[in-house]
Every structure is written in structure tokens, then in C-alpha cells.
Structure 1
């Protein structure tokens, strides 16, 4: 693969089928100056490595009349054409003029057929005109394929049409051609509908923003906005760029990014995302990301890439179709030749049956069965705030047997709070001691320190002026420092055991607090215990409900992984309802446990924050990151990102995956079954050309409609 700096991305319009996309990719690879090329059929995108003009690319796609334009034009063109979008859309007549003209000739042909008869020159010419108008592109590509010995659905149709014309079946051949043209339009329409979920994401963020520069407020295009610019967003307006609030207070609807319907309060220093809606107050926002780096841009890019990734089911269909088409041609030839040669059958009858086999053998429904399902499901998930990064991961989610959860920030809120503060030493001033505790924790980097500082601030206790000397932090044990000549220590009971035995009262209270799922810390000097302070990371309201839902959905094992002590971990595990708790784990322990879990169950998932849990996420079958909207790491490392910090999205992702798997299997089974049934009609000599093409169109339409049901799956 050429260097990424040599990559050029284009939007492609006009794809009708996955086979055509594959042929276009091969044609582009053969262009001078192109080292490699990759077509993403799901997203209608082309990546070219090397150099080629738009004209050369459109020549490579001339067989399908493809239109190509650089992706870099999208942002500017989409905002200039927004108001006139309706006017720019081609009319129904213009869009389907070829089919309509072909149908008109067909109608006149049948009128002439009833008036003048089938052999009449006018009748034949009208049917021929209908065939040429409706099937010109078909014949052009079909002939090229025949010359190159490339066998696809157009090759089958071209041979069938030529054969039908040679034996004088003008009316049926004309019907076959127009029905095939309608079938291709149905495929194009179905894929466009499936892609619309992503196209709608592209238009979420405004293309212009009000920016303050040099004391003036001006509207400028998002491509021209620089890092550090101050953007002004009024109530009721959408936010155009990612940034941090520098002034103002408002509630922002983030449904477009995170899928959460309840607006989120935003004030100074809070992060906001492009494409979200400012509902109430005026906000001034400092731009932190360029337009191509915004969260919505990354989501669109990743979803489009995901739609181009082949799922295992699609890979099977592609392999099957590769051998299926030549086999159908052989079967058709045998049907046409063997009965007349060996059983004195009528040549015209059996050649006709052979041609019908060619038509019924068109693998349209089979080829389109999987791509529409994958695109529909991934698009629906993205709109619900779930970013699935490929068809392979979409399939894997539905077959999970076990799910492991990181505790902090996943099953819990990740925001610890002080729950208990009990002074033990007599004649000790609670307020003064809390001031000393907070002054020591102020120097600490420990996650629990923020909870103690928050408590002190809530109770208006001064601690910043307390002078701490000889501060020391001892990893895994605690902290200590001198205040007014006295050495104070805060840490675990195990650490204090190193200095003196603990009173029974302290031992019992510590154990009791830990059994409640709290982290208990002792406060003392080098001669006595002064107090016990307990902190707890509160469990998310949704965690218990989500675990229950997963068990009902057939997930065999749910495991909580944490670095907490055994007592605290098991208390939280019991409250949440997981089947297994693994405590006192280091990051490498989590990784090893995930490997063991995968060996036991095969398909397993890990849910974490995408940063500390990166090794464990990578070791799982499906790595699921929480809060993807806020962290680039989550978007990049995980297979699935829950954009809002909402675990309730997980059962929906499993439900959607299973439904997608069922629909894909049903589509493949139905597409093959309908072909087999039609082929069986050859035995009693009942199969006709129009029956063959109608069965193909019917199968294509039903498969497409069945796949598009995935766009409407609800949480």
C-alpha cells in the first residue's frame, strides 16, 4: 500500500451493485500513475493511492456511468447547496427516463402485438427499441465481459437476451430487459436508503460559524476556522465545531453524538461537540479541533470505514458468487443441449429453457443480501450513539458468551464521594482534623483525594493555607507529611499494622465499611489512630438493570475486573449482580484474565474506558469503550464505542447484532431457495423468461426490504 500522504479520497455516485464496485476498483488499479485503489461500496467512496484525474476515474467507471468527485469538495459544496438542495435533486422523470422510455416502447410493442401480430416488423422494431433503450448499458458491459471471459450477472443477462432474440422471443426478451433495469434501480434505491443514515450525520454540523476576530463578529466557513478562535453560539443554534466553553451557561442536546435524549448542562471549561444543539443560553466557545478532527467528523469517517469492512457472512457470499455464476452458465448450457441430443427434445423449447435458467441464475438478491443489512445496522447504531467499527464486529457482538466490565467509570460513575468520617481519638476537633486530612490529600495524585477535597469545599473548610512539610506518597500504602511538627499519615489498615497494632474497634469498623463496598482509609500519627474516613465510587443507576438484561439475553457470564481490595470489590459485585468478581488486579492481570476467559468461552467482550484498559480491550473478541465522545483513545482502540457514558446501549447493540445476523441468514437462505425452486420448474418445462426475471426481482426486492428493517430497530 502506498504512503497515506499519497492517498486521495473520492465520492462515487451511480453504484448499482457490489460486483460493479469490484470491477470499478480493478479498472482504477490499472490506470497509469495509480499504485493501489480501494472501493468502499457501503459508503460509496474510492481511495486512490497515486495520481489520477477525475476524468480518468470516470472513464474507469464508464461501464456504470459513475460520477466521481473529490471528497474535499464535500464540506464547501454541501453548505452552498443546502438551501437549493431540493432544486438540485433531479426530477423523477429525469432520474428514471431510460426506464420510462423503455417502458413506453414496450407498451406500444404490445399494442402492435395484439393488432398486427408477433411477427410484424413494427412489433419487432418496437420491442427491439425497448430492449436497446433499457438495456444499452447492460449489453455494452455484457459484451465486454464475454470478450474478457468475465462472468457476472450482466454476462448472464446479455447471453440470455441474445439467445432469446435469436429464437424470436422478442416480447419476453423486452420484458426481461426492462425488469432487469427496474431491478438495478431497486438495488440502487435500497443502498441509497441504507446510506442515508450516514448522509444525515454529515449535515448535522453547520458549515459556517459566528467567530470573534480582532474585536469583530464575522460568519466564516468552518474550513477557515483556526484553533483558539472564539465561536459564539446563540440559543437554538447548532454548534459548528468542537471546543471548550469559555463564557456562558446553557443546556446542550447531544443526541446526535451520544444518542442521549436528555440535554446536558454546560458551563465554563466544559467540552462541547460539533453538531450538538445549544438550547438555552449564549455560549462562547474556544475552538480545540479543526473541522476534519471534530468528533462528528471522526464518527462519520469511522462509520463509513466500518461499512466498507466485509462481515464474515459477506465474505462467504462473495466467495459463493464467484463460483456460482460460471456454474449457472454450465447448467444452462446442459439444459439447452442434453434433452435435444439425448432424448430427442425440441431444440427451440430447450434452448428457451436454458435461457430462462440463465436469467433465473442472476445472483442479484444474493449479492445484495449482506451489504444492505450491514450498512443499515451500522447506520442505525451510529444514530443511537453506538459506533461499531466493522461488519466483523457487528456479527461478533451477537455471538458473545461472556462480558467483562472494568469497575471504575464503567459499572460505577467514576466520581468517588466521602460516605463516612468518624473521629476515634478523644478530644480531637473534627473540623481541624478534616482540614489537615484535606491539606495532605491536596498534595496527592490519588483518585480518592478529589472526594475528600470536595467534602472540605462543601463544608467550607480551609485547607490551602495549611503548611505541609516532608510530604511523601507511598504507592499502594498511603501518604504522610508533617504539619506543625507532627507527622500525620493517611492510608490502608495494612500499612498502619507496620507501625503498631490496631484497636479492635478500628479493625471491626474498617471491615464493616469495606463489606459495604467502601474504601476505608485510616488517619493517624506515628503513635495513634485519629479517625477513619471512607470513600465510595457510587454504582451507576443503570448497572444493575443492564446486567440483568444481559443475563436474560443469554450472556452466560458477567465479570467485574478491578484493582480494589476483595471486600470492596465483592460488595459492589453483589450490588450490581455480576456472576464473577476479580479483585486486586494490575493491568497485566486484566490482560491475562481476558485471555483465559477467551479460551473458556470463545467469544468474549471487555467493556472499559479505552485508556487504562487498552490491553484487555485488545485481548477480547470485541473491545467496547465507554464514553467514546470524550476520548480519542476510545474511538481509535475499541471495536465498539458507546458514545454516551450509558451502559444501557450495550443490550441494544447485542439485540441489533442478533437481528442483523438473523436477517442476513434469512436473506441468503431465501435468495438461494427461490433460485432452486425456479430451477426445479425446468423439469416439467414450466419455467419462462418472464417468470425467471420476476422471481429474481421479487427476491431482490424482498431481500432489500428485509435488510432495511434494521434501520428501524428500536432500543
Structure 2
């Protein structure tokens, strides 16, 4: 019998920090038949790969016992397939996702209606009542505060016991319960009740902060309008955008958001792509141009043919990619996780030693030192430390995605900052990927006349050079008359009759076979060829009418993008299969080191050579031709190969073709790593300060729990600053 593996995804609410994720992961791993568990605090998600014997109910029950709410399934039975075919990534041959609670909708309630908020309010009211009763009837003060303490402590203690049985004995709830019970035993009941309330307030604040982070990337999904105007039998009918099918034709009015990815079939408009790509300037889009869901048609009416369903449009894919990326842990995060497993039991041991050794060895007062030991338990809570890295990584991934910079996981984001060399493909990466007319040199005719004749011959051809000539004629508003008897001359060019004139458009060699080129014309052709340009000679009635030079020109921001990388101390290399002259001409203008006439395996070899020199290498290409080099590099970046390729290949993707975005990714990585270092410094620094002040008797239980809560909130708030990265 074949083993069947199913991957099931759940939405979990009430999960606010790394400790929560660890408890859930440990508990679910203990279920027989579970193979792999991935928990993301930022997404509020749990992904479980398990055998066919494990049911949804078993997983939901195990997580619910820990005090978290698991959103029930909205679909039917989970999809399953042979585990032998399951791979880690890409859509072909992987275990099918079965998402619970929808793909992008958050299951979180309004924070003030959540169970934790209601428990915090109840605990606060109980403490206030106890304080009032204590003032009115001093004899029952102790019992009133004990009752107030139990309101908040019983749910916390229940979670501690459940977590212990589920495999996490050293949870924050355990530390909290021990500290509160110990405080009651030494007569600090009032203080214990206040500390439990502060702990609950801290948890609630963590929940609010985590909710903000969660909403950040999910807010991207809300950019897509809920309805669309679709053509049905010659009429415009309003339907739910989620029901659009590939091939449908939709109408988008000026000022409307575009409800689906598609291609314009009629009309033109300035399209504001800022919500999706971060591009600040609207782009003029016309027939055959692609458009993204969630972008805005600012000034024109468009008819658009849908090219992707709601589940597979650019925004849905970005959200899905970022959610998956946030579930994969960065090296620093994995280290912090391992460290915290030993750190928390270590805190318990230190707290015990502080409570016991001074009274036993030096005759100090038991009550005083037990109190200090209990305070150390609270100071030692690992929440702030555990969340310091994933909060920053998640915020960084979200901020990047909103600027069109997609990175597949925390490890990729972290490693971007370590790049010391970037190898660029030329065509479609440093250049636009299509030739344009760069020079018109007129001899026997005017520039407009020669361009008109050439465009007449090339009309209807799909050859890139022909398209460049026709596009230039259109841009210059040059009339394009019909050509009669137009035909290709094999390996030489194209000829025909335009307005009664016999016209031949050919390479310089083919033109030289029909007429004698003047020395000045030959030297001009050689000079243009030396600049990496392809030169066509136009003959009109066997006279040289002029020269048309074309070249695949660099992207507008290529030079600035390469300069930005150099300013960051990063070496840049251009790898191309093009001829050496063209490569050197392009590279000279951009200020980059060229390597030309390369096969795909040569590009891979050069990447390996750079790595042997001790460089950390990123390779930027279109994700198709450069697959071997992209795979060999430390980080492969897909750019200019279309949205599908950009999102499915390599380690990172640049949504719109800006060379400058490579340096932005490096800058984002370095900003995130600096943020993580700040977070760790805050988390450990506050603990160190309060550890010393507690031992010397300056601070007690209240400041200890405030330090822990304060550190968690500070760390989360600092990480959330990254959500604003790149704005303005």
C-alpha cells in the first residue's frame, strides 16, 4: 500500500509571539503520523504535512487545548498524493495545499473582543474590586486579592499544564504560574495579583502588535476590487471578481481599480501601479500591454482580456509567496530558537539558585531571596528574545513585497546583505530586451522619407529589427505607405516597391553587392558597428538612401543601479552570449565588467569562479536561459522573464524591471539585520539590567514583569517600523 501525504493549512488566532509558535509546533509534532510542522506567528498560520490517518479533528483538538482558536475548514476533504512524489517547492509534484479559513482572510477578531482582552478586563475589574474591598474591610483584604489573582491565573496555569503535557514544560505560562504561586506563599498576594494583570496586559499588547504585522501583507489582497464589469452577450454585467475566468473581457472605467491580471485589448490609460510595484509614476498602457490586478486606470476607459484567475493573479501570488516565505526561518531565527530551548530552563535554575543559596550558605532571609528568585523567573521570560528576529524578518519581507521586491524566505533576506558580487545577464536584464532604432543617417533621401520606406517594407514582420523600425516610424508619426511585391531576400534583407520606388533594406554586406558604398559610408557603418549596433542600409532605386542603426539599449536606470551597487562595495559583472563588440559597447556605457560570447554553462562556470575567490555571488537573469547560473549562485534573482517565471524560479524576484532594485534588496536586508541586532540588544539588555537590580534589591516583581512586557512591545514596535521602509 502506498503512503499518502497530505499538507493541510490552518488559521490560528491568539498566537502572538515566538513562544506561542514553539508550543503549537511541539504539540502538533507529538501527534502520531505528523511528518512536518510549520508555524508562522505573522501569518497566524499552521501548516501540517501528515499521513492519511491523521484527521483535521485531531490537529484542531491538540491546538485548541493550548488555548488557541483554529479556524474550521471551509472546504471538503484535503487533497492527498503519493508522498514519493512530494517535493519541497514549486507546484508540480508537491503535496497539495488545503487551506483552512481561506487564503488571505484573517480569522482574528477585533482585539477588544478577543478572549485575551476579555480576560484582561475581567482580571483588571477583579483587582479593582479587591482593592476597594480591602480598604473597606481590611480583614478580608488577603482573600479578596487571592480571588482577584485566581481570575487571571487559573487560565494561565491551565495553559501551562496543557503545554507541559504537550511537550513544552518550560513555557512563559509555567514561569508565570510558579512566580505567582510562590509570591502567595511568601505573603505577596497583592503584588502577585497585580503581576498577573500586567502579564495579561502585555499578552494583549503583543496580540495587537502581531495583528498589525499580519494585516500588513494581507492588506495587499484587499487592493483587488470585489466586483468586475464583464462583457456578456454585448452587455456589461457586474459580477464578483472571484468568478472571472481566463479569457473574459472586462471593462475598467477611469479611476477604477483593475480587478484582474490581463492584457489590454482596447483603449489606453495612465495606470498607477504604485499599490503593487511601488512604482511612483503612472505608466501609459495601450493595446497588448499587460496590467496587474489592484492597479488603477487613472484617465482612460479600458477593455481588458483576463489572463489569470483571482487565485492566481499577481497580488494573490505575492501574498502566497510572502506567507510561505515568512514560515521559513532565517539562520539567525533558527539560532535564537535553539538558544531559547536551553535559555528558559537555565532561567529556572538561576532563579532557584538565587532563592536557595544565599539563605543556605550565608543565613540570609528566606522570604527576601525567594522573592528575588521569583522576580528573576519573570525577568527571564524569553518572549522578547524569541520574537526579535521573526518580527523583523516578516516586516522586511512584507515591506519588500509591497515595493515589488520578492524574497523567498528569511534566509534569502538575511543573505542579501552579505552579497559581495552581482553577475547580471545582459539581454532583458541590463537592457530592455528588444532593439530600438538609435541612429538615422540620411544620404539620398530625408530621414523621414527613408524611415517611411523602411517601415513600409517591414510592416507585418515579427522580426525584432522590423518591429523596431515600425515602432520608430509610429513614434515619429511618419506615414507608412503600402509596399507592393515585398519579399524577403534569403539571408540578405527585404525588398519591394514603395510609391513607385524600388526599395531594398539589407545588411551592409548585401547592400555592397548591389552598389558601391562610399568610403565615408563604410567608415560610418564600421563606427556604428563598433558601438555594438546592427546597421541596415536602405537602397532606393539602387542609390544609398541612408543607414538605420539599431541596438538593444540599456534600461533607463541601469547605470544608476550599477553605481548604487558599487557604492555598497559590491563588484558587478555582465555575462552575455552576445558578441564581444556589442558587449563591450554596452558595458563601457554602464561602467560594468563584461564577459561575452558565453554559453549557459560558461555563465555557471564564471559564477563558480567568483565564489572560489571568496565572493558571495548573486546572479540576476530572466529565470529561463540562465537557470544553471541562477542555481549555482548564492542568491538567484529573476528579473524580466515575466511574472510567472519571476515568482516561480530563483530565490528572489524583481516584479518590474529596475536594475536599481537589486541594490534596494541589499539595502533592505542590511536594514533588517540592523533592526534584528537592535531587538536582541533591547531584549537581552533590559534583562541584564533588571537581573542586576533585582539581585541587589532595587527592583522586584512589578518592574520585572514590566521589563518583560516592555521589552516585547519595544521589540515588536521596532520591527514594525520596517513596514514603512522605502516609502516616500
Scaled by the length of structure 1, the TM-score of the pair is 0.85
- The equivalent position to 2:154 in structure 1, one of 112, 131, 136, is 136
Partner in structure 1 of residue 696 of structure 2: 684
Are the counterparts in 2 of residues 58 and 66 from structure 1 also a CA contact under 8 Å? no
- The equivalent position to 1:102 in structure 2, one of 112, 119, 123, is 123
- The equivalent position to 2:251 in structure 1, one of 232, 254, 260, is 232
2:70 counterpart of 1:67: yes
- 1:113-157 deviation digits (Å, cap 9, x = unpaired): 55655xx4x222332233222233321121234556721222222
**CA positional deviation for 1:319:** 0.9
Structure 2 CA distance for aligned equivalents of residues 17 and 111 of structure 1 = 35
Q: Report the 3-state secondary structure (helix = DSSP H, G, I; strand = E; otherwise coil) of the residue aligned with 2:490.
A: strand
Number of residue pairs the alignment of both structures matches: 691
Structure 2 CA distance for aligned equivalents of residues 19 and 370 of structure 1 = 13
Structure 2 CA distance for aligned equivalents of residues 129 and 694 of structure 1 = 22
Q: Report the 3-state secondary structure (helix = DSSP H, G, I; strand = E; otherwise coil) of the residue aligned with 2:66.
A: helix
Are the counterparts in 1 of residues 127 and 194 from structure 2 also a CA contact under 8 Å? yes
Structure 1 CA distance for aligned equivalents of residues 11 and 30 of structure 2 = 19
Structure 2 CA distance for aligned equivalents of residues 54 and 256 of structure 1 = 39
Are the counterparts in 1 of residues 623 and 645 from structure 2 also a CA contact under 8 Å? yes
Partner in structure 2 of residue 382 of structure 1: 401
CA separation of 1:482 and 1:250: change in aligned 2, threshold 3 A: closer
Are the counterparts in 1 of residues 564 and 660 from structure 2 also a CA contact under 8 Å? no
**CA positional deviation for 1:170:** 0.5
Partner in structure 2 of residue 509 of structure 1: 524
- The equivalent position to 2:279 in structure 1, one of 260, 276, 301, is 260
2:291 counterpart of 1:272: yes
Partner in structure 1 of residue 467 of structure 2: 450
Q: Report the 3-state secondary structure (helix = DSSP H, G, I; strand = E; otherwise coil) of the residue aligned with 2:618.
A: strand
Are the counterparts in 1 of residues 269 and 301 from structure 2 also a CA contact under 8 Å? yes
**CA positional deviation for 1:299:** 0.7
CA separation of 1:52 and 1:203: change in aligned 2, threshold 3 A: farther
Q: Which segments of 5 or more consecutive residues in structure 1 lack a partner in the other structure?
A: 473-478
Structure 2 CA distance for aligned equivalents of residues 569 and 76 of structure 1 = 46
Partner in structure 1 of residue 659 of structure 2: 647
- The equivalent position to 1:598 in structure 2, one of 578, 587, 611, is 611
Q: Report the 3-state secondary structure (helix = DSSP H, G, I; strand = E; otherwise coil) of the residue aligned with 2:219.
A: helix
Are the counterparts in 2 of residues 365 and 696 from structure 1 also a CA contact under 8 Å? yes
**CA positional deviation for 1:450:** 2.8
- 1:427-485 deviation digits (Å, cap 9, x = unpaired): 9999789968985897785x44432444566654568644546735xxxxxx568989x
Partner in structure 2 of residue 126 of structure 1: 144
Partner in structure 2 of residue 475 of structure 1: none
Q: What does residue range 15-414 of structure 1 map to in structure 2 within 5 Å?
A: 15-30=15-30, 36-49=36-49, 50=52, 52-53=55-56, 57=60, 59-70=62-73, 89=110, 91=112, 96-113=117-134, 120=139, 122-146=140-164, 150-414=169-433
CA separation of 1:244 and 1:312: change in aligned 2, threshold 3 A: same
**CA positional deviation for 1:633:** 0.5
Q: Report the 3-state secondary structure (helix = DSSP H, G, I; strand = E; otherwise coil) of the residue aligned with 2:71.
A: strand
Q: Report the 3-state secondary structure (helix = DSSP H, G, I; strand = E; otherwise coil) of the residue aligned with 1:96.
A: helix
- 1:182-221 deviation digits (Å, cap 9, x = unpaired): 1211221111112221121121112222222244433222
CA separation of 1:512 and 1:351: change in aligned 2, threshold 3 A: same
CA separation of 1:348 and 1:418: change in aligned 2, threshold 3 A: same
**CA positional deviation for 1:611:** 2.9
Structure 2 CA distance for aligned equivalents of residues 541 and 465 of structure 1 = 38
Structure 2 CA distance for aligned equivalents of residues 277 and 20 of structure 1 = 40
**CA positional deviation for 1:300:** 0.7
Q: Report the 3-state secondary structure (helix = DSSP H, G, I; strand = E; otherwise coil) of the residue aligned with 1:204.
A: coil
Q: Report the 3-state secondary structure (helix = DSSP H, G, I; strand = E; otherwise coil) of the residue aligned with 1:261.
A: coil
**CA positional deviation for 1:533:** 4.2
- The equivalent position to 2:684 in structure 1, one of 647, 672, 676, is 672
Q: Report the 3-state secondary structure (helix = DSSP H, G, I; strand = E; otherwise coil) of the residue aligned with 1:177.
A: helix
CA separation of 1:274 and 1:179: change in aligned 2, threshold 3 A: same
**CA positional deviation for 1:56:** 5.4
Structure 1 CA distance for aligned equivalents of residues 102 and 237 of structure 2 = 19
- 1:550-587 deviation digits (Å, cap 9, x = unpaired): 322x2231222233333332332232233x22223233
CA separation of 1:454 and 1:233: change in aligned 2, threshold 3 A: closer
**CA positional deviation for 1:369:** 0.8
Q: Report the 3-state secondary structure (helix = DSSP H, G, I; strand = E; otherwise coil) of the residue aligned with 1:633.
A: helix
**CA positional deviation for 1:16:** 2.1
Q: Report the 3-state secondary structure (helix = DSSP H, G, I; strand = E; otherwise coil) of the residue aligned with 2:324.
A: helix
Are the counterparts in 1 of residues 397 and 407 from structure 2 also a CA contact under 8 Å? yes
Q: Report the 3-state secondary structure (helix = DSSP H, G, I; strand = E; otherwise coil) of the residue aligned with 2:578.
A: coil
**CA positional deviation for 1:294:** 0.9
Q: Report the 3-state secondary structure (helix = DSSP H, G, I; strand = E; otherwise coil) of the residue aligned with 2:256.
A: coil
Partner in structure 1 of residue 84 of structure 2: none
Are the counterparts in 1 of residues 130 and 144 from structure 2 also a CA contact under 8 Å? yes
Are the counterparts in 2 of residues 442 and 453 from structure 1 also a CA contact under 8 Å? no
Q: Report the 3-state secondary structure (helix = DSSP H, G, I; strand = E; otherwise coil) of the residue aligned with 1:11.
A: strand
2:30 counterpart of 1:9: no
- 1:261-306 deviation digits (Å, cap 9, x = unpaired): 2222233322222111222232222222121111111011001111
Partner in structure 2 of residue 625 of structure 1: 638
Are the counterparts in 1 of residues 112 and 118 from structure 2 also a CA contact under 8 Å? no
Partner in structure 1 of residue 590 of structure 2: 576
**CA positional deviation for 1:367:** 0.9
| Stretch deviating more after TM superposition (561-570 or 705-714) | 561-570
Are the counterparts in 2 of residues 414 and 537 from structure 1 also a CA contact under 8 Å? yes
- The equivalent position to 1:613 in structure 2, one of 612, 626, 634, is 626
CA separation of 1:360 and 1:78: change in aligned 2, threshold 3 A: closer
CA separation of 1:449 and 1:587: change in aligned 2, threshold 3 A: farther
**CA positional deviation for 1:682:** 4.6
Partner in structure 2 of residue 634 of structure 1: 646
CA separation of 1:206 and 1:396: change in aligned 2, threshold 3 A: same
Are the counterparts in 1 of residues 10 and 45 from structure 2 also a CA contact under 8 Å? yes
Q: Report the 3-state secondary structure (helix = DSSP H, G, I; strand = E; otherwise coil) of the residue aligned with 2:553.
A: strand
Structure 2 CA distance for aligned equivalents of residues 471 and 204 of structure 1 = 52
CA separation of 1:666 and 1:93: change in aligned 2, threshold 3 A: closer
